Amino acid sequence: MAHGTTLPAPVRAGLPRSPRALVDPGREPGGLHVEGDGQRLRGQSARFSTQWLPDTPSNRHLTLVWLRLCVDAQGKPLFTLQELAALVGSPNRQAASQHLEDFRQCGEDFHAFVLRKRKVDATVVEAALAALLHTPLAGPTELVPRVQARVDRHALRGATIESALEQSSCGPVRRGRRRQLATGPVP
């Protein structure tokens, strides 16, 4: 264009691959790569392809760790840390290295790794329990606005509330429910 503007790049983007994989990207044995398409991503190689996953931070972090765990016949990782750092939007290999270290600190347990960043302090635990006592059958998503208002923190999400409830004793909920049952029918 004559006025110096540029058009955005196409939505489809791939994870940078090793020079070996550039010969025939994703078609040679071990030529695994990550392909993005809008709000989705997937891993592909000549032998298999994952289904499309939602392109979320958790899925990217798990994909990074999973791809680093993939090794060739000699036990050499298929992807360098530098290549994998691009998956989490960093030009720095330390970003990928930090995710791997976090994974190791979680006992190499994927579930613990995904939940590790949900730092729930006592204030959030207390607020979630108080909200749950008000409506014992409410799910985490329904409790979010109540807990946010109570602690005046608007970045809380359903997963954080769920984590807070996991840290709560069911005793207060049971006592409240017993009182409700003793005083009459529950709507």
Q: What is the mean pLDDT of the chain?
A: 76
Question: What is the rounded CA–CA span in Å between residue 69 and residue 67?
Answer: 5
The full set of domain ranges for the chain reads 13-115, 122-181
Question: What is the rounded CA–CA span in Å between residue 174 and residue 157?
Answer: 25
For residues 49 and 32, the answer to whether their CB atoms sit within 8 Å is no
Q: What is the pLDDT of residues 15-40, one digit of tens each?
A: 444 433 333 344 444 455 678 788 88
Confidence of residue 147 (pLDDT cuts 50, 70, 90): very high
